[in-house]
């Protein structure tokens, strides 16, 4: 059974070099085991989703430019998340601020081709049916 995701949940990007933690602002006014609970709209880059160290996606323009300058040798560059779409699928039967709650099986796509997923939901006891 999926767990509710809250502030401090650990995420990993398929093209990132390091984990990152989710930032959930208290605007939804719902707490989960202490920290604010997340919904699928908590996907804003540099607000909710912080960098994952270095990016190695060839679709990222900075990585492509650095790789071209290195004569085709893949050259990772600093990650700047580009998440324009909400997390999917979320938990449609549980609403937080009129949007589906964010569970630990949801994924978020980066414009550079990375898939962001949770390694730790930030909660231990709160399950979503």
Q: Which of 57, 58, 60, 41 is nearest to 49 (CA)?
A: 41
Is 124 exposed, middle or buried (CB count within 10 Å of its CB: 0-12, 13-18, 19+)?
Answer: exposed
Domain membership flag for residue 5: no
Domain membership flag for residue 128: no
pLDDT at 129 > cutoff 80? no
pLDDT tens sequence across 53-71: 999 999 999 999 999 999 9
Q: Over range 26-32, report the average pLDDT.
A: 92
- What the block records as the tokens of 121 is 């939901």
Q: What percent of the chain has pLDDT over 70?
A: 99
Domain membership flag for residue 109: yes
Q: How far is CA 74 from the centre of its chain?
A: 24
Domain membership flag for residue 127: no
Domain membership flag for residue 84: yes
Helix residue spans in 26-107 (DSSP H): 61-69
Q: Over range 16-38, report the average pLDDT.
A: 95
Check residue 50 and give its pLDDT: 98
Domain count, the chain: 1
Check residue 12 and give its pLDDT: 98
Check residue 127 and give its pLDDT: 76
Check residue 126 and give its pLDDT: 78
Domain membership flag for residue 47: yes
Domain membership flag for residue 88: yes
Strand 10-13: give its sheet, edge to edge.
20-21, 10-13, 115-120, 108-109
Q: Supply the range of the domain harboring residue 108.
A: 10-53+80-120
User: Measured on CA atoms in the order 40, 10, 113, 44, is the torsion positive or negative?
Assistant: positive
Domain membership flag for residue 28: yes
The predicted model scores a pTM of 0.92
Cα separation, 51 vs 37, whole angstroms: 21
């Amino acid at each position: 059974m999926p767990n509710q995701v809250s502030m401090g949940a650990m995420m990993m990007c398929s093209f990132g070099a390091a984990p990152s933690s989710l930032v959930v602002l208290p605007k939804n006014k719902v707490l989960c085991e202490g920290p604010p609970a997340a919904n699928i709209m908590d996907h804003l880059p540099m607000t909710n989703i912080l960098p994952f160290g270095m990016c190695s996606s060839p679709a990222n323009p900075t990585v492509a430019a650095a790789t071209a300058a290195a004569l085709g040798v893949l050259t990772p560059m600093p990650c700047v998340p580009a998440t324009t779409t909400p997390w999917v699928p979320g938990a449609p039967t549980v609403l937080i601020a009129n949007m589906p709650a964010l569970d630990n099986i949801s994924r978020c796509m980066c414009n550079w081709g990375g898939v962001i997923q949770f390694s730790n939901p930030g909660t231990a006891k709160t399950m979503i049916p």
